[in-house]
Amino acid sequence: MNVAITTLVKDLNTTVGTIQVIIAVYALTMASLMLIGGKLQDVIGKKRTFLIGAGIYGIGTTIAALSINSLMLLVGWSILEGIGAALMTPATASIISGTYHGKDRTFALAIWSAMAGVAAAIGPLFGGFLTTFFSWRLGFGLELIIILAILAYSGHIKYFKPIMERSDIDVMGAILSSSGIIVLVAGVLLLNSFKTWTYAPYLMITGILILTVFYFFEKRRISRGKIPLFDINLLKNRDFTLGTSTRLLMNLALAGTVFVMPIFLQAVIGADAFTTGLILMPLTVGLLIFSLVASKISGRLSHRTIIAMGFLVALLGAVLLRSQFTLNAQLIDLVPGMFCLGVGLGLSIPLTADVILTSSGDEKQADASGFMSTAANLGSSMGTAVIGVILILGAISGMYAAIDTTYPNEITKQQYKENINTYFDKLKTTNLEQLRGQTSTASTIVNTTISTAMQWAMDAVSLFMLLGLILTMFMRPFGKEG
C-alpha cells in the first residue's frame, strides 16, 4: 500500500494525508485486537476463530478492491481486513503449534515464520509491480482468491475444543489492552512526520500508562480466580519473555531495513521498483533458506545457540552495509550485507516462535500466540517509525557536518536549525544523477548527508541485533542442550 500511495490519491480523488491515515488505521486495528483475537480461540475454538477471521478478511478485501472513494478503502482494508488479520494471525500460530509436536513443530513454525519474513521483504516489490503494470485493485483481488482457497480446504484444519465460556470473557481487560495499544502505536506512527513527532512521546507515555493499568487489572482478576484476557504470569517465564522480546527486535530490524533500503535505492540511486526488489532478494532468499536450515540443525544445537548465531550474522550484515551508501554506490556491493541480514533473520525468527509457544505450555497457546503476534506487530510498526526518525536525524547531522567542513565558521548551529527546512527542500530538488562522480562542493555535501543518514540507520539496526544477542544469552538452553 505504501508504494501505491500516489496512484491511490489519483484513483480515489483524495489526498496523500488521507491515504497515510488509512494505512495507519490498519496498523492500529490489527495491533490493538491481537490479544483479543488470541483469547477468542479459547472461547469459540482455534479453527472457528481462524475461519471467522478469514471470512471478515474476505469481505474486507472485496470492499477494498471495489473502492470508489477513501471511505470504502478505510472500511474494507483498514477496519475489516485489520479485524480479520487480528483473528487469523494468532490462530495460525496456535493451530500449527497444536497440530505438530517436537521436531515437526519446529519445522512447521520455521516455515510459518519464513513466509511472514519473506512477505515483508517482497511485499513492496509485488505491490509496486501490480500498481505499475496492472492495478492496485488486483492485489486485493488476489487476496480474495487466497481466502476462498482457505475456506475451500478448511476441512483439513484440525479442530480444537474451546476451553472457556463466553461469560468468562474479560471485557474490561479487552478495553484496556486495545485502548492502550492503540494510543501507543498511534504515538509511534506520529514519529513518521516532522509536524507531529513532538506529540509522539505524550501519546506513547499515555499508552504505556494504560497498559500498566491493564497489567495490574489482570493481576487482580487472576487473584480473584477469574479468567484474564492475558495470563500475565506467562511474563514470569524467562524464556517466554526473552523469546517475545528477541522476536520483537528482529521484526523491528527487518521492518526498518525494508523501509530505508527502497528509499536509498529509489531516491538516491534512481532504481525502479523491480530493481529495488532484486536488491532485496538476497535478504529474502537468505531468510527463507536459513529458516528451514535452523529447524534442521535444531536437533544438533540448542535454540539459544542458533538464535545467537542468527543475531551475530545479522549484525555482520548491518556492519557490512553501513559503508556502502554513497552517491556512487554499486548495487552489487549491497548484496553481501543484505544476504547476511537474511541469513541472520532466518536463523533467529523461526526458533523464537518455537521457544515462545513451547515455554507457555499447551493450555496457554491462545494467550501465547496472541501476545507473540502483538509483539511482532508492534516491532514492525515501531521499526518503520524508529528507523525513519533515525534516518532523518542522521541526515540532519550529516548535512551540518558537511556544511561546517566546507564552509567553516560561516554558519552557526542556531542558523542551521532555523534554516533546516530550506536546506532539505534544496536537497529534495537536487538532481543527484548529475552529482555522481563529481568532486564539487554540492556533491560533497549531498554525499555526506546521504551516507551519514544511512549509516545512522544501519547503526540502529546493529544496535537492535546486539541487544537481541545479549537477551539471547539469558535464555535457558532449549533443544539439544536442554
Model confidence over 417-426: pLDDT tens digits? 655 655 555 5
Q: How confident is the model at residue 404 (pLDDT cuts 50, 70, 90)?
A: low
At 419 the pLDDT is: 58
Residue-wise pLDDT tens digits, 312-339: 999 999 999 988 888 777 888 899 999 9
Sequence spans of domains, the chain: 2-169+229-395+454-472, 170-228
- Quote the cell numbers at residue 28: 492500529
The 3-class SS string of 410-476 reads: CCCHHHHHHCHHHHHHHHHHCCHHHHCCCCCHHHHHHHHHHHHHHHHHHHHHHHHHHHHHHHHCCCC
Quick one: how far is CA 474 from the chain centroid? 24
Please tell me the predicted confidence (pLDDT) of residue 460: 92
**What's the pLDDT score for residue 207?**
92
Of 106-120, 177-191, 232-246, the one with minimum mean pLDDT is 106-120
pLDDT range class, residue 295, cuts 50, 70, 90:
confident
pLDDT category at 378 given cuts 50, 70, 90 is confident
pLDDT score of 136:
84
Q: Is the pLDDT of residue 369 over 90?
A: no
Integer CA distances (angstroms), 421 to 148, 223, 247, 425, 426, in order: 49, 55, 37, 6, 9
pLDDT of 299: 77
Any residues with CB less than 8 A from the CB of 14 and at least 6 apart, and which? 8, 69, 70
Report the pLDDT value the prediction gives residue 309, as an integer from 0 to 100. 94
Per-residue model confidence (pLDDT) at position 482: 43
Which string of b and e fits 273-311 if b means at least 16 CB within 10 Å?
A: beebbebbbbbbbbbbebbebbbebbeebbbbbbbbbbb
Average pLDDT value for the chain: 82
Digit-coded pLDDT (tens) for 173-221: 889 988 998 898 888 778 766 677 788 889 999 999 999 999 999 999 9
In degrees, rounded to 5, the angle at the alpha carbon of residue 382 between the alpha carbons of residues 90 and 454 is 135
Whether the CB-CB separation of 382 and 186 falls below 8 Å is answered with: no
- Confidence (pLDDT) at 79: 92
pLDDT, mean of residues 367-374: 81
Reported as a single tens digit per residue, the pLDDT across 48-99 is 999 999 999 999 999 999 999 989 999 999 899 999 999 998 888 888 888 8
Question: For 2-169+229-395+454-472, CATH number?
Answer: 1.20.1250.20
Single pTM value for the model: 0.79
